[in-house]
Amino acid sequence: MKTVVALILCGIVLATLAACGASSDAPSPDVPVFESPPQPSEPVTAPSDIAFSDADMKMSIELEVDVDKKQITVSASMAAKVENNEFSFYIGSSLTVDEISGEGGSLEWQTEIESLEFRGPMRKVTVTAVTDGIITAKYHGSVSGAFNFIDPEAVALSFYSSWYPQGFPYADGAADQIRVTITGLSEYTVLRGEYDGGDKAWTYHSVKDDPTEDCNIIAFKPGSVFTVSRDGVSLHYLDEAEAGLAENILDYSLDALAYYNEVLYPDHKKEAGNLNIVSFSYLKGVEWAYSRAGLIVYGGLSDIDEDIFMKEGAPHELAHFWANGADTSSWEDWLNETCANWSALLYLLHIGDQDAFDQLIEMYLEYSVNFPPIKTVDGGRPNGVHNKGTVLFYELYKEHGGEMIEKLLNIFVSLPEKNTESFINEVSSQIGNETADFLQAGLLT
Ligand SMILES: [Zn+2]
């Protein structure tokens, strides 16, 4: 069982963490898509009430990072959709609001603490007596949240700290992207950033079509980071002792990508171009991974079983480039996670590692009995969201073999609307009522 325990530590199977008491939180929106190919530039018509000087952005953020003080200072201008003269957004609870203004000048605001899925305590900021337009919030403080840190050798700021305003409606007609201008990191390299030496500032753009719209700032101090690259995939790591592991993860990642493209999802090929994989394994205790458009971030690799991680953990995260799109903050996330798990399980069979497959299945079976049904009463994301669906599919695998699972995965990946109802309807029409009924019933047990 050693390898199985190690896999739990790597946190890919997050739900099992809670069952083991190792973690009370399951912080994985894990919601990825491959980076969209560059879009032809379209003329952007800004609505008359949206007055950014650069009207092509729906949020424009100035971020100043003070590495010595481990603090950030932010000025975020939002193309806000205001209802009933109120407008609310969320930032991390360790951040203090200094000023909020609209186009007509200073605005009043109040804050309260509220917990949100994946992020823990957040500061909900409600601005009153406001009309539509650009609302600018200035705030500062430290960041907290999984995978967020400001260290001399690297800086990571993402969705999980809510370092930027989240959870608010944008004005109708607002553009697709968010721009971040970053100062204080002139001695660093910002992943996917562009550096302007004159202003000593980096510019970063959120990735179009990324459902999380993550402003995911990852910066390395040159000389502190090691990078291995092959075939458009780069893996960055900070601990020199990981050199061998990094090479192996890269090999398996490329092999798994080839399997998904050529064998499992031949009708949904993805270019691997410009994929960055980051290992923050020097962060002890961060025991999970997440993926975004063109980005996968790992933590805690120093404690894991390398073999099982490379063969299953890394392929799981890569599989999310296909297995994504269902709502991650609700029970519907079982679709993303079950399909990512089974993509990786089929990869294990593809490379002939029946032992690893059996070990993982044993683990899923063992833990699934402790979890509640997939479909929750309140619609929330249940404990065990990675696990129960994997066991449900295993029942079908035992009876019908791997081809059945391949069909199910491809049905999910092909769905125009990624939710359970559409999935089961499509299973019913492409495979049959019996399988659809089995899955439907399995959601409630
Ligand atoms: Zn996942």
* CA 214/CA 205 separation, integer angstroms: 10
- Residue 394, pLDDT > 80, answer yes
Dist. CA 320 → ligand 1 center (Å): 7
Task: Pull the structure tokens for residue 219.
Answer: 């910066």
Q: Averaging pLDDT over each range in 6-10, 43-47, 132-136, which range is the top one?
A: 132-136
Measured in Å, residue 337 CA sits from the centre of ligand 1 at 5
What residues have their beta carbon closer than 5 A to ion ligand 1? 30, 337, 340
Average per-residue pLDDT in the chain? Answer: 84
Tokens for 375? 């479909």
Distance between Cα 86 and ligand 1 center (Å): 36
CA of 316 to the centre of ligand 1 (A): 6
* Total residues found in the chain within this entry: 445
The least confident of 169-173, 261-265, 272-276 is 272-276
Confidence of residue 272 (pLDDT cuts 50, 70, 90): low
CA of 332 to the centre of ligand 1 (A): 13
- Report the pLDDT value the prediction gives residue 304, as an integer from 0 to 100: 66
Write down the pLDDT at residue 383.
Answer: 84
pLDDT above 70 for 50: no
Across the range 28-49, mean pLDDT stands at 30
Any idea which of 102-111, 120-129, 290-299, 425-434 has the lowest mean pLDDT?
Answer: 290-299
Q: Could you tell me the pLDDT band of residue 385, with boundaries at 50, 70 and 90?
A: confident
pLDDT in the model for residue 120: 80
Q: Are 207 and 36 in contact (CB under 8 A)?
A: yes
141-191 pLDDT tens trace: 999 988 899 999 999 999 999 999 999 999 888 888 899 999 999 999 999
Amino acid at 57: M
Query: How close is the Cα of 38 to the center of ligand 1, in Å?
Result: 26
Please give the distance, rounded to the nearest whole angstrom, from the Cα atom of residue 211 to the centre of ligand 1: 15
Per mean pLDDT, which of 76-80, 207-211, 296-300 is the most reliable?
A: 76-80
Please list, in sequence order, all residues whose beta carbon lies within 8 angstroms of the beta carbon of residue 109, skipping any fewer than 6 positions away: 97, 100, 125, 126, 127, 128
- Check pLDDT > 50 for residue 4: no
Distance 291 CA to ligand 1 centre (A): 8
Q: How far does the centroid of ligand 1 lie from the alpha carbon of residue 241, in Å?
A: 26
Reply yes or no on whether the pLDDT at 119 is more than 80: yes
Q: What is the 360 CA–ligand 1 centroid distance (Å)?
A: 15
Domains belonging to the chain, first-starting first, are 2-36+226-442 (1.10.390.10), 57-206 (2.60.40.1730)
Give me the pLDDT at residue 266, please. Answer: 96
pLDDT of residue 432: 98
Q: Looking at the predicted structure, is the pLDDT value of residue 52 above 60?
A: no
CA distance 20 to 155: 31
Percent of the chain residues past pLDDT 90, beyond the cut: 64
pLDDT at 140 over 70: yes
pLDDT surpassing 50 at residue 71: yes
Check residue 306 and give its pLDDT: 75
Residues sharing a CB contact under 8 Å with residue 211, sequence separation 6 or more, in sequence order:
31, 33, 324, 325, 328
Task: State the pLDDT confidence band at 30, using cuts at 50, 70 and 90.
Answer: very low
Residue 40: predicted pLDDT:
26
Angle at CA of residue 257, ends 251 and 259, nearest 5°: 105
At 175 the pLDDT is: 85
24 within 8 A of 18, measured Cβ to Cβ? yes
- Determine how β-strand 57-66 pairs with β-strand 71-80: antiparallel
378 C-alpha to ligand 1 centroid (Å): 22
Q: Is the pLDDT score of 46 beyond 50?
A: no
Angstrom CA distances, 388 to 377, 392, 431, 443, 444, stand at 16, 6, 21, 8, 10
| pLDDT category of residue 252 using cuts at 50, 70 and 90 | very high
| CB neighbourhood size of 120 (10 A) | 18
Amino acid, single-letter form, for residue 252? Y
Residue with tokens 């592991």: 245
What is the structure's pLDDT at 254?
A: 94
> Of 31-35, 305-309, 385-389, which gets the smallest average pLDDT?
31-35
SS (H, E, C) 309-358: HHHHHHHHHHHCCCCCCCCCCECCHHHHHHHHHHHHHHHHHHCCCHHHHH
Evaluate the CA torsion angle 95, 121, 89, 191 in order and state its sign: positive
Averaged over 260-272, what is the pLDDT? 91
pLDDT at residue 287 is higher than 70: no
Q: How close is the Cα of 278 to the center of ligand 1, in Å?
A: 16
Q: How confident is the model at residue 337 (pLDDT cuts 50, 70, 90)?
A: very high
State residue 18's pLDDT score. 25
pLDDT in tens, 359-369: 999 999 999 99
Instruction: Compute the distance from residue 165 Cα to the ligand 1 centre, in Å.
Output: 25
Q: Measured in angstroms, how far is the CA atom of residue 119 from the centroid of ligand 1? A: 17
Tens of pLDDT, residue by residue over 397-411, are 999 999 999 999 999
Average pLDDT over residues 308-314: 83
CA distance linking residue 332 with residue 417, whole number of Å? 12
Q: What pLDDT, on a 0 to 100 scale, did the predictor assign at position 301?
A: 66
CA of 444 to the centre of ligand 1 (A): 21
